[in-house]
Every structure is written in C-alpha cells, then in structure tokens.
Structure 1
Amino acid sequence: MALPEHDVADLGLAQAGVRRVEWAERAMPVLGRIRERFAEERPLEGVRVSACMHVTAETANLLRALRAGGADIALAASNPLSTQDDTAAALVAEYGVSVHARAGMDEDAYDRNLLTVLEHRPHLLFDDGCDLVNIAHTERPDLIAEAAGGCEQTTTGVIRLRGMSAEGALKLPMVAVNDTATKRMFDNRYGTGQSTIDGILRATNAMLAGRTFVVAGFGYCGRGLAERARGMGARVVVTEVDPVKALDAAMQGYTVLPMDEAAPVGDVIVTVTGNRDVVRPEHLAALKDGAVLANSGHFDVEIDLDALEAMAVEVRRGVRPEADEYVLADGRRVVLLAEGRLVNLGAAEGHPAAVMDMSFSGQALTAAWIAAEGASLAAGVHEVPGGIDTEVARLELEALGVRTDALTPEQEEYLRSWRA
C-alpha cells in the first residue's frame, strides 16, 4: 500500500510509535467507543481534514477515530518541541495519515508545513492556536470556499478567532471546542496543572516544597497549576489583571501581587495567560539568582525572550534537557525552560492520556457535527452544542464506573413550572 504524502524524521520509528499510541489508547476509553461508533456510521466519509496539532500519541488516537469515520487527514505540528518522531512515523506508516512534522524544526519549516497541509484542500480545519486558520486566510484564501468549518482547541486560538470575527475577517464557522465545560475542567485545569509541574520537574529536578512559585494568570489553566504547586508544598503567588479572577485567587488563600512585586521573590515563575510580554525587561532585571522561567500559556511570547537574550552576557544552552541558563552582567543566573515554549510539551509529554480522552472525544463528535451542519452555520465563532459536552461527560462516567442520580418526573415538572 502506498504511503500518504509525508515529511517525518524516520519511518523506521513507526513500530515504537505504535507502542506509544497503543499505551495511550488504554487510558482513552471514551475515544475508543467513539472510534467504534464512527467505524459503523462513517460520519466523515470523504471529508478532508487539515490539522495543526501537537503530534503526540494522544493526538494520534483522535486521528484514528476520525479515520475510522472516513476522514482523509493531513497533519502539521503546532509546536516543534512537542513532536514525537515515533508517533509521526506511526501515523504515516500504520494509520494512513499524511504527516508533516519533525521534532525541533525551525520556524520556516513550521510555516512551510502549514501551507503544505492546506494543499489538502480541507473541508474541515483542526487548529491549535489559530495559526492554520490565520495562514489560510492571509496566504491561501482561495481554500476558504471549500471549507465547511473547523475546530479550535486552545484559549489563545479562540481569542485570536474572536478578534478575526470582530473585524469581519473570519470567513468560515469555527467551533470553540476549548470552551466546553469538560475541556476547561479536565484539560485546562487538571491537565495543564499536572503536566506543567511534570515539565518543570523533568527539566530542573528542583524541590518545589518551600519555594515561592509564581503563577501568572488565574484562568482555568492558572487555577489548576496553582492547586498543583500548592499541593507540592510551594508558596504560591498569583499575578492577574482581571479583578474578578484576582479576587477568586485571594479568596482561595493565594497571595496576589503585581508582577513587579512577584518577580523579585519568585523561585519559579510560570506564565499561563495567553497574552504577550507578561514577563518584561523590568521583571527580568529584578529576578533572584537561579530563578526559573517557564511558559504554559501557548505561544513563546509571554516571556520577553529578546530582552532576556539582550541582557545576558553568556548563554549556556542545555545545562539540563530543555533548560538554558542566561548569565546576567551582575552574575545572576536565570534558567529558561523549553525555549519559552509550552513547558508541559517541550520538557514533558503534555497532558495525561486520560485527560485528552475527554478533550478529543468532544472534538471528534464536534467534527462529525460540523461535517453535517457546517453548511447552515454562519462565519464566526460558535459554541459546541451542549448535547455533545453532556454525552462526553456521560461516557466518561460510564468508563469510570461512576453512577449518578436521575430526576424524577415530579422533580422535572417542578423545575419547569413557575406555579409550584
């Protein structure tokens, strides 16, 4: 059988990739059920999908479900540090996906791969940060007419899509799969919290107990990270621009400070905002010796990396795996993890498969819904239908063996009636 078009590091890694994918599959029972359903119903028959996603074993299991439903898929990496070369090889050689991704590729290769997967002339776009949608609109607008819509699975990407929509620049319906209750709860909160700590520990082997751990941003990701850091015994400081979120953090017992005051006391500082320039030159100048900087908020713009480079008199690359040490003029050392990219994927393996089971199950069901309903949707950002989120939660509870109560007819009537 001819292999799909591809650009991967080494097809000889395919069997190692299969073992990795099958290991993740064990912790993804809901997606497995959806794959079985898709194989029977074929809701994506003949649908071409172009995707920009992390090339990991968990993503591979999502793509297997889409393939079972009939989809024809071309995949580019959304982060060069997160690409698992063995998974990429397995997707091509064993699972029939066109993959264009290599670990450690540069920015030119990243952009080139996005354009390559767009040549697939997609009916659906799967995005992780809005780069694929952005480049489709700016460099290949001729492809928009064929697309029924797409999915965006990150907070950063949804923010960018809403900006495009507000300016009238978004020409197709995009569904914010990031904004479902199950995604925010499991993926953003529990997944980001655990996997970010995992990345920091792998990269530094540092003790967190008794250290001051600064969390920049107290959205769902920041809350999960703060909880996990406190659970490791760290003193947690939160920085935030939203008064409501800052109040929430204070009421949960965290110290809330502006970054000007948090930077000088932080042993570990992690950005999880989805914005840029969260750690700026004035903050870098105030860091204590040995401070660790990491980002778990998507793009590598949350920490001012150009300023850090300019301030350094020496840069020691790879003092540990995915840890670079910047020596400042006064001798202070600042340790940057994963090049300022997502530390949970650059220095670890991202969210546990059990977390991605829920996120990707919702994404698979949403893809089938868009394929069926996309023609009736207006250009813009759309919410995932509530029934999909409920179905994913129900399937997950079944997989966990958890039972719930059900409303009696009298209770349902009571909730409907205003006369009672």
Structure 2
Amino acid sequence: MTPFDVALGIDNRTLNEIMKKIHKWFHPHRYFTGSRQVPYQGITFTVGWDVTRPPIVDLTPPEDAEARIRTHLAKVRRPKGVTLEQLVQAYLVTLRGHTLQLVLPKVTISVSDGGTPVVDDVRITVYVHVDSSGGSITLQPVKAEAETGNDIDTWFFDNVFLPEAIKLATPLLKGIELPAPTVAGVNLTASAVVLNYAHLALAANLAGKPVPDPGVPPWPGTAFFALLGPEALSTVGTAAVGYLNSKVFRTGDSIDVGIGTVDYGASAWLGNATCWIDRTTMGITADVAGNAYAGITIGCTRIGVNYDIRLTAPPTAWVRLAIDRTRVNATIRQVSGDFSLYLTPTGNIAEWILSAITSPVATAIANVFKPAIVKALADIVYPVCDLPSMSVVIDDLRLTVNPVDLELASYGRFLSVQGDVIVE
C-alpha cells in the first residue's frame, strides 16, 4: 500500500439519493420498464420487466467474491498459457476495493406464451467495476445475478432479464460524472478509486509520485469530505507565494548625521519564499537580501559607502485557512515583525565615518523596509482548492451534487473539509 496526498469522497446515502431521483424521473417511461418477444424451444414468448423500486448502491464487497469470479471466468475463453487460477487472482487484485453493487430490489418480471403470464418479483444485483485508468472515472457493469425461487426457466434470466439489467445500468452509471480531486496550481497523479462500506472516494498523489494504493482507510463520517495532506498544502502554498521571489523594495533620501548630510539609497528583495506545515499550523517564510549605499561630503571630498543588507531571521507569516462557499482560501493571520535589519559595510572606509553614518542610515532604511516587508506578506490571499460539484447527466435529466455546510478540521495528519450535500 502507498499513501496519498489528497482525497475526495461522497457517502453511500448520497449515491442512493441520486438513484432515487433518476428512478423518479424516468420510471415508468424509460430505462426501467420494457418487454420483447423471444424464441425459446420453438415457442415465441413475450417477456416483460418493471424495476418498480429505485436501485440501491451497495458499497460493501460482494460476498464470496472469489467463488463468484471463479464461476464467471470458468465460462470465459482464457488467453493462451494462462490458467484459470492465474486469471482469478488477477481479477481479485484488480477488483478489490474497486467493485460496488447496484441492487435492483424489486423487479416485476413476466413470461407468457400467449396464455396466462407467469409473474414474479425478483431481486437483481449488478456488479459494477469502478475504473480510474486513463485519467477518467468510469462505472462499468460487469455481471448480474438474480435471487428468485420461482418456476421461471433460468434460460430467461441468463438470456433476457440479467442482460437487460446490465443494459439498464450502463447508461445510468455512465451519466454519473465523478470529479477527480484537484488542488490549486499543483499537478497530481491519476486518481485511485477507494471504496469502503460507507464512502466512494478518489485519492491522488502529487505529480512525480506513484498513483496511491491506500488500501481501505477509515474515511470521515460525513456525506462529503476532502482531505489535504501536509505535503500537498505546503506545495500549494509555496507555489502560490512564488511571486514574492521577485518582490523588490526601494528607498532613498537624505539625513543629517551631525558631521554632514548623508544621501542614501537601498534595494532589497525577497527570495526562497516557502510554505511550511507543522501539524495544524501553516506558515510562510522568505529570505531577504539587498544592498545600500550612502554618500557624504566632508570638506571638498565626497565619500561613498556600500552596504550589504541582511536580517537577523527571515520574516514569518502564519496562515489561516477558511472556507468561502466551496473554495478553501489561505490568508495571512499574523506577520512576525520580530526581525532586525543589519547593514554590513563593504570596502575600506575610515571607522569614524562608518560609526557616524551607518547607524542612522540603517535606522532610516529599516523604518521603510520593515513595514513594507510585513505588508507584502500580509497582503497574501491564495486559493488552496476548489471543492467540485458532481454532475449527473442522463438524456434530459440534469442533477448537480453540491457540497454545503462545510467545515475545516484536522483528520489525523490531514486537513479535512467535511460537510453535507444537496442533490438538485
């Protein structure tokens, strides 16, 4: 198993609410009902079906998965040189944590040869593989099974009702668009599907890492959640404040230092602006470097002094994360002014001249640069991530699943955004 940097998930209840709305919209006119004539043993039968109750999404693993796969694959033509056992194990690895069940809890079926039809209610389960390969998320029905104790010949199930159940599930599931997780300004790997008993989630890593394989972690218990790991938050923050690396400050003036009037000028710039995370505390630091000059005329001689500018410690800003509707923003909560600016003279200058001009010039420059540096950091606001809506588009049905009532919290080593959803 490999860890993940970001994840996004919705719960089983939301998926079933979507199914109820789909069923209400289309039943009984499209998808959920049908009939046709089929020849069997020299007789033409009229068969019909009606999915009278909404489908139910079940995220629990199928019971006896290995036995079911083995039975299914025993009928499949295997590649040359591949044993049934090898194929079964390959399917188990591929489908583990990636298979859900779409249950049709009540399907009224009928079979008639022209006389009184045989009618029964059956429960049909469609097994669905959730695939995230190729950068998109698809829900693909792969097999259907029926629970029935009636006298209808199994031929009708194998050749009509179960294929029709898969045919029904395909366009309904295809219309559900699952959004992959994203973070602002940062590339991610392809998403991995992670199912547990209560949530369908997608997890990704920062680009350059392998696609995650987190197993089946315990997700937050809310209808919607997003998780952002410390490395993802730090990377987003560092990318967002990168523009500070070109931030330049300038000042210049003249000042009377007793032995004469000093003209001075200075430039400083920020560099190596980075974002850091310490548990639930998030901050930004930046290096400051620069140079200055000062000139004074004594008698008839002009004396110039050059300085390197340095700080005792890099300025630090602490970040507050907040939610604005469905966007997580980072804003500066506090900027440390606890740093001092030092001017180091370069070149060979008489000590009495340096002692006379360096301190007042340094004070004058610091009085301009310190508040300017603090303001540059305090003005920072940047997006961390936008929490996506989920769309359902099937023919003329348009549904949107929007996260609402969102709150920020910590969840283990992650920043979590948790809340409810509205399907409308």
Q: In which range does the TM-score fall when normalised by the shorter chain?
A: under 0.3
Richer in strand (by share): 2
Structure showing greater Rg: 2
> What TM-score comes out, normalization by structure 2 length?
0.22
